[in-house]
Amino acid sequence: MINIHATAIVIGKTGLLFTGPSGWGKSMTAFTCIVEARRQGVFSVLVADDQVLLSKQDGAITAACPPAIAGLIELRGTGIVEQDHITQATMHFAVLPASATGENRIPPERETVVVAAGFELPVLRLLPNLPLPLAVLMAKAPEIGS
């Protein structure tokens, strides 16, 4: 098991691991996706925020939460809030920030990222601070929310 700096959620049956540089908005974007899914009547839940424990089970990447922070998510500038949560879930995609400068406007097809040694996931890219990030993720990966 390895501990990484990320946020893990589940939308429908799809695990999303928000990772990337500090300050890009991982927690707030994940929280916005959870709220947006609930408004659509789609199951959504927090797995872990800030610290995510990754392991492999039957070839799948599983995210879990350290018990001390279970159900807590930090909303920058607002503080730490409680959320419905589950103890672990399979992750299907890594969500990374897209370039806001216009550089690499179209990410490579079938892009993947190694989130930690031995842990590789397909990538979905998002611009920071989108008002409806889940809509963008669902456009790129229609299986999200199903």
Q: For the segment 28-39, what is each residue's pLDDT rounded down to a tens digit?
A: 999 999 999 999
**Residues whose CB falls within 8 Å of the CB of residue 73, separated by 6 or more in sequence, listed in order:** 7, 27, 30, 31, 46, 49, 80, 81, 83
Residues 66-96: tens digit of each pLDDT: 999 999 999 988 889 999 999 999 999 999 9
Residue that the structure tokens 């789609």 belong to: 42
Q: How buried is 117 (Cβ within 10 angstroms: 0-12 exposed, 13-18 middle, 19+ buried)? A: exposed
Instruction: Report how many helices (DSSP H) and strands (DSSP E) the chain contains, helices first.
Output: 2, 10
Q: The tokens of 137 are what? A: 């993720």
Q: The tokens of 125 are what? A: 């890219």
Residues 9-58: tens digit of each pLDDT: 999 999 999 998 888 889 999 999 999 999 999 999 999 999 999 999 88
pTM value is: 0.92
Within 10 Å of residue 140's Cβ, how many Cβ atoms? 13
